[in-house]
Structure 1
Amino acid sequence: MRAVQITEFGGPEVLTVSDVAEPVPAEGQVLVTVGRAGINYADTHQVENSYLAKATLPLIPGGEVVGRTEDGRRVVALVGSGGYAEKAVAQAPYAFDVPEGVSDGDALALVLQGTTAWHLLKTSTHLRAGESVLVHAGAGGVGSLAVQLAKLWGAGRVIATASSAQKRDRVLALGVDAAIDGDPDGLKDRILAANAGRPVDIVLEMVGGRTFDESFEALGRFGRLVTFGAASREPAQPIDSRRLMKGSKTIAGFWLADCFREPALLADPLRELFDLALAGDLHPVVGGEYGLSEVARAHEDMRARKTVGKLLLDPSR
């Protein structure tokens, strides 16, 4: 079968299409003929081996797929790796049936990025009605869903950052109250201005480095900041514990992989997200589709912040 298999770690240049043996499902696994695979920013870390979970070579990247099982079920599945291929195997509890009316793109957006947004707001930061929420990279896969969920769940004011005027227009169309430039220079002041001069209650942060630092400075009393990525590939400044005490602030971390030992932590949120999408209350943003042979360009575009929403990979071309 055709797959993107890497034999050395690096940037987009190491992503090439190869002919490899089809995977064979073991006991407790299902084989999925892939209709579309999802492309995530975390994949760029996996390919260069800078992710939280260290990878081994050779490696077929790709964490989620949508397609058909051997018995004909239409499923969206979390596979960890192996998704950039014509066929992939998944542990049976992590292959979720896709309701009629939910597209392949919507299913892929919701299974990983949607459940991440769900947990960021409900599990990590415990959003309460009326609170202000700052979402970094609001035009991205997680961000575009998080801003909608925050609004649906009663946030008082939702602010999003985005790297271009066009992306800021996109997040405004999703219903945010304010969209600001995400450049770290002067970011704290822009956050405060967007929140009528007040610090924010909740920050969803996935950039790291100076963006993390500026966001923490804009956090109000009893505020909660959750970090779930490091797109800048830069470390934030160390946080003195006394800075947490003053203002009673909380910093949390979130990694979806920590939900994998308990399937209900994914299945229950996903079911709720599917229902919201079917009701027309939640609108996943599918930002583009690439052929398998175009995967290097997909990673280049993503790293250059040229993309929005969920990116799809078509293994048939």
Structure 2
Amino acid sequence: MKAIVATQAGGPEVLTLADVRAPVPGPGEVLIDVVAAGINRADVQQRRGFYPPPPGASEILGLEVSGRIAGFGPGVTKPFTVGEKVVALLTGGGYAQQVAVPAGQVLPLPGGVDVVTAASLPEVAATVYSNLFMTAMLQPGETVLVHGGTGGIGVMAVQLAKAAGAFVIATAGSDEKVATLTSYLGADVAINYRTQDFVELVKDHTGGQGANVILDVVGAKYLQQNVDALAMYGRLVVIGLQGGAKAELNLGTLLAKRAAVIGTTLRARPVGEKSAIMDGVRENVWPLIADGTLKTVVDKTFPLAQASAAHTYFDSGTHVGKVLLTL
């Protein structure tokens, strides 16, 4: 089969289309003919050599796909049928014509979404649902700060938090993206992090209290500022390290607020945990997509063979929502 492989660690130019061995579904796995694959920041980090796949996972990039079921390994108990349109959360292998994945990480498409657009959903929905609700326990009426509000994760986080009854503050890197956050995605407050102090503005909009929950993809660069922006008993959930992995923190601030800093990843979690997260997505996120409460936002699509161009565009940071590869 055809797949995108990285010839070495580096920029988008290292990605090339090649012939590789097709996957064979093992016990409890579903084989999927891929229609589209989502591009995520984790793919970029792996391409650069900073985020190797977990032991036993495919070296091929790609953590989410949409497609059609092509077959089954032994012992699959979920009621899927060959040819059924599905999405899947992967540990790797999505930039390819086929992928094998545990059945618990596969869901039918939500209502009203076509099979290509659906590839924009599994990774971001699972990440946001698990971190905002299963980890941070976001409650109606609480304030949430979402960094990178117009990225794939941010678009889902802003909308899902708003649908849950939270007061949503989000950051973005341009005035145009700030306008999109409030006028299209429903954020209550949007902040241009290049020109505005998000700590000061979060406090201004919360009567000096701060955010109850912060979802952060930046990491070290924002660590002290995020803790400063937390409310009493606030929860900072760090899910990305775009701004580095090491920082100094005044623990006195954290202790005084009786707050928590939580670090999580999704990719390396056991199959059972991922399956439980996907069950939560099906029950709590899919209905909101089907009834139009949550918008699917796809910025641009590229053919699989143009993965290098797709990564170049993704790296530019100009996109709003998801960038997809199509087969």
The aligned runs of 1:106-255 (5 Å cut-off) are: 106-155=117-166, 157-172=167-182, 173-183=184-194, 186-195=197-206, 197-232=208-243, 234-255=244-265
**Matching residue of 2:97:** 86
1:100/1:240 Cα in 2 relative to 1: closer, same or farther (>3 Å)? closer
Compute the TM-score of the two structures, normalised by the length of structure 2. Answer: 0.87
**Matching residue of 1:285:** 297
- Measured in 1, the distance between the counterparts of 2:214 and 2:52 equals 21
- How many residues are paired up? 313
- Measured in 2, the distance between the counterparts of 1:260 and 1:161 equals 33
Output the amino acid matched with 1:17.
L
Output the amino acid matched with 2:89.
L
- Measured in 2, the distance between the counterparts of 1:293 and 1:163 equals 30
Which residues of structure 2 form unaligned runs of 5+? 71-81
- Measured in 1, the distance between the counterparts of 2:264 and 2:11 equals 25
Give the superposition deviation at 1:72. 1.3
Q: Does 1:267 align with 2:283?
A: no
1:239/1:260 Cα in 2 relative to 1: closer, same or farther (>3 Å)? farther
Compute the TM-score of the two structures, normalised by the length of structure 1. Answer: 0.90
Are 1:285 and 1:310, in contact at CA under 8 Å, matched by a contact in 2? Answer: yes
1:92/1:130 Cα in 2 relative to 1: closer, same or farther (>3 Å)? closer
**Matching residue of 1:45:** 45
Output the amino acid matched with 1:5.
V
Give the superposition deviation at 1:290. 1.1
Give the superposition deviation at 1:130. 1.6
Which residues of structure 1 form unaligned runs of 5+? none
1:11/1:188 Cα in 2 relative to 1: closer, same or farther (>3 Å)? same
**Matching residue of 1:18:** 18
Output the amino acid matched with 1:284.
T
1:304 to 316, 324, 327: 316
- Measured in 2, the distance between the counterparts of 1:158 and 1:133 equals 5
Are 2:61 and 2:94, in contact at CA under 8 Å, matched by a contact in 1? Answer: yes
- Measured in 1, the distance between the counterparts of 2:58 and 2:313 equals 24
Give the superposition deviation at 1:228. 0.5
RMSD over aligned CA atoms reads: 2.3
**Matching residue of 1:63:** 63
1:133/1:52 Cα in 2 relative to 1: closer, same or farther (>3 Å)? farther
